[in-house]
Amino acid sequence: MRRTSAVLALAALALGACSGAPDLKPDTPGGVNLAGTWKLNRQASQDPQAMIDAIRQKFMRARRDYIPSTTGEEMPEIDEHGNPRQGRRGGGMERAPSDPAALQRRAKYAPGASYTRALGAALTADSMKIEQSATRFAITRGEDRRSFTPGGDSVVSVEDGVADQYSGWSGREYVIEVKPQVGPRVIERYGLSADGRQLVEKFTLSEEGLPKLEFTRVYDPGTLGPRALPTSN
């Protein structure tokens, strides 16, 4: 009987480990309010684009001419920004440039490109708006708006398929985790600084075959810049 109980307990633990669902709470911690408009403080923040460029340069040093292609195509030489070069000298001849569609397909698999795509608007936006309530947490960056249910999980679409998404409160931080079938796992954390005057954002991205990308950014209270309106001549 004891042996049976032990086996069942181990099975339950194994299932919990396989599920990968983080322990995120639906209830907002007392006194924590992240709502507002926030402006990126560049001097106090790390630069994720520079980190992605460093990942690309590391791969280029290791693979000076080609990188493997998951499409079965031969990959072209990559420049310092991870973009395919138009031609390559070899054997005294210059290779003719590939057609634009092929270059776009190949650029998709450049080192670090999956991190760029996974970050989306978070990589380029310098401000954001957070809306917070007992049942909703939303982040707006420019035209990109993402809405979450605290303590909830769902299946969402990503560029290369679908992903499990979890979000909720962990301590005094709001956490969002996206675990795709293919592509980088992304964890975002949002909380207030020790003095409560700034918003602190932490990102962690990981994918098999790539170095982990971790960065922290700090935001000051601010206002979103006005949208550019079309002008007529």
Strand 137-141 vs strand 213-221: parallel, antiparallel, or unpaired? unpaired
End-to-end, the C-alpha distance of the chain in Å comes to: 85
Is 195's pLDDT higher than 80? Answer: yes
User: Which pLDDT tens digit goes with each residue over 76-124?
Assistant: 455 555 555 554 444 444 444 556 655 555 556 677 899 999 999 999 9
* Domains with residue ranges and CATH for the chain: 24-45+124-221 (2.40.128.20), 53-89+96-114 (no CATH)
Is 231's pLDDT higher than 50? Answer: no
* DSSP category for residue 195: T
Q: Which residue would you say has higher pLDDT here, 15 or 156?
A: 156
User: Which pLDDT tens digit goes with each residue over 126-182?
Assistant: 999 999 999 999 999 999 999 999 999 999 988 888 999 999 999 999 999 999 999
pTM of this prediction? 0.72
Long-range CB contacts for residues 146-150, cutoff 8 Å, separation at least 24 = 148/176, 149/26, 150/24, 150/25, 150/26, 150/27, 150/28, 150/174
Selection from 10-24, 90-104, 196-210 with the highest mean pLDDT: 196-210
Distance in angstroms (rounded) separating the CA atoms of residues 15 and 149 = 24
Q: What is the pLDDT of residue 21?
A: 58
- Residue 14: pLDDT band (50, 70, 90) is very low
Residue type, 65: D
Is 16's pLDDT higher than 50? Answer: no
Structure tokens at 114: 């999956």
Q: What is the pLDDT of residue 3?
A: 53
